[in-house]
Amino acid sequence: MLDIQLLRNDLEGVASRLKARGFDLDTAMIAALEAERKSLQTRTQELQAKRNSLSKSIGVAKAKGEDVTPIMAEVAGLGDELKANEDALSRLQDKFNALLMGIPNLPHESVPAGKDSDENVEVSRWGEPRKFDFQVKDHVDIGAGLGLDFESAAKLSGSRFAVLKGGIARLHRALAQFMLDVHTREHGYIEVYVPYLVNADSMRGTGQLPKFEEDLFATFKNADEKLYLIPTAEVPVTNLVRDEIVPGESLPLKFVAHTPCFRSEAGSYGRDTRGMIRQHQFDKVEIVQMVKPEDSYRVLEELTGHAEAILQKLGLPYRKMLLCTGDMGFSSAKTYDLEVWLPAQNTYREISSCSNFESFQARRMQARFRSDKNKPELLHTLNGSGLAVGRTLVAILENYQNADGSVSIPEALRPWMDGVDKLS
């Protein structure tokens, strides 16, 4: 959520920055709503003040044993207008709030302008894609002989699910454990285990709701209370600080969580239908930080580096992309995507997304910190995939495949695989 003060003070400026990310802000409508709000609110508060003081004087008069009927008569006249004003104000505020919740974050000034992913900017590249002296297979074909089973998954649940058996399931588990261990041991994150079902408040806090309900899976706790399956650990982990005022000295808070993620993938029919790239359910290790505002851009670089470290340890070639204004997520002010090399597709594919949300999520969540005796201040939130486990599995299968159909295990991962150096 944007700062409403910013909207009031610099509506046109906000509109033009939003335009850069392809969002049209109806400034005339907002200005009109704002003018109406101002007069309604002033009038309502006036009436409330009058009622309060009259009510108070009734109490005083009664205590003295005086006759209160004249005051009662006076206050009775207020009732209808006050109620009408209160109702109108609350309707207007609901409307304004709904509008505000639907406005995306402002892009940081360092974000390049652009329409879509074609205009993202490559920042750096790491590793050399391997030269194969045989015909490379994609992960589906390689995995078929190693326990990657889409037919069973289709029987159980339909399309966009996978069953892993044997060594490949083991590899999947090892990857998650490896990532968790690196982030906790080397990068200073605290491991957290969190619920996979969360309420609507949590989804609103991080920005998935109200706009993107169709991307989520939901279930019902009872007839009128819906719970959502998390599309990323970002949701439960970031919401740990919702409605909290944390001591300034406790920042930065650094959390890492390994969770399954559930996405309906509505609107992506036909895209990445083959294989494990785009699933309804996948595992991800997510790193999250809550920091002071002045630190958040330094931390974005640091956090992205933590995700890169996993790719480097695994020896997977990747490139780091700075997303342009038109390709960023709804809540983000600046995002780096890490794209891993997939030889069978002969291209780089997203495996991590690292974002600084500045105070956008914190404002929705009322997540604040207090330094000394200063007033509470909104903190900044960041997160990144460190990494998407399923896609990392795909990358290893494809990059470490051998001519005989076996797959080598990256050196760094072997301690998590009981020393196994090859799946066959």
Partner RNA sequence: GGAGAGGUGGCAGAGUGGUUGAAUGCACCGGAUUCGAAAUCCGGCAUACAGGUUCUCCUGUAUCGGGGGUUCGAAUCCCCCCCUCUCCGCCA
> With respect to RNA, which residue has the nearer C-beta, 181 or 377?
377
Interacting span for RNA (CB under 7 A) from 40-48, 96-104, 181-189, 263-271? 40-48
**310, amino acid identity:** I
Could you tell me whether strands 253-262 and 281-291 are parallel, antiparallel, or unpaired per DSSP bridges? antiparallel
Give the chain's end-to-end CA distance (angstroms, integer).
50
Q: Which is nearer to RNA, 16 or 55 (CB)?
A: 55
Residue with tokens 């069973």: 152
- Identified binder of RNA from the candidate list 22, 147, 376, 405, rule CB under 7 A: 376
Binding to RNA by CB under 7 A, coded x per residue (else -) over 231-250, reads: --------------x-----
Please identify, using beta-carbon distances, which residue of 63 and 156 lies nearer to RNA: 63
- Rule CB under 7 A: is residue 313 a binding residue for RNA? no
Task: Give least dist CB 333 to RNA, A.
Answer: 19
Binding of residue 42 to RNA (CB under 7 A): yes
Considering only the stretches 4-12, 20-28, 110-118, 233-241, report the one whose residues sit in contact with RNA under the rule CB under 7 A.
4-12
Q: Which is nearer to RNA, 29 or 49 (CB)?
A: 49
Q: Is 4 in the site for RNA (CB under 7 A)?
A: yes
CA 302, CA 254: separation in Å to the nearest integer?
Answer: 12
In the window 54-93, what residues touch RNA (CB under 7 A)? 54-56, 58-60, 62-63, 72, 75-76, 79
Residue matched to tokens 């001519």: 403
**Selected binder of RNA within 16, 53, 97, 268 (CB under 7 A):** 53
- CB burial string 130-146: b at 16+ within 10 A, e below: eeeeeebbbbbbbbeeb
- Residue 352 to residue 254: CA distance in whole angstroms: 17
Angle of helix 79-101 relative to helix 27-63, nearest 10 degrees, comes to 140
Minimum distance of RNA from residue 50's CB (angstroms): 8
Query: Would you call 350 a catalytic residue per the annotation?
Result: yes
Element (H, E) at 199: none
Is residue 60 within 8 Å of 108, Cβ to Cβ? no
Q: What is the Cα–Cα distance from 129 to 109, expressed in whole angstroms?
A: 33
Active site residue 363: no
Asked if 391 is an active-site residue, the reply is yes
Which of 9, 16, 52, 424 is the binder for RNA (CB under 7 A)? 52
DSSP state of 248: G
> What is the C-alpha to C-alpha distance for residues 32 and 35, in angstroms, rounded to an integer?
5
DSSP 67: -
Min dist CB 84 to RNA, Å, is 13
Q: Does 375 bind RNA (CB under 7 A)?
A: yes
Name the minimum Å distance from CB 31 to RNA. 13
Q: What angle do CA 379, 210, 160 make, to 5 degrees?
A: 105
The answer to whether 357 and 381 are in contact (CB under 8 A) is: yes
- For the annotated catalytic residues, the residue numbers are 263, 278, 350, 353, 391
**Interface residues toward RNA, by CB under 7 A:** 4-5, 8, 38, 41-42, 44-46, 48-49, 51-56, 58-60, 62-63, 72, 75-76, 79, 222, 225, 245, 372-373, 375-376
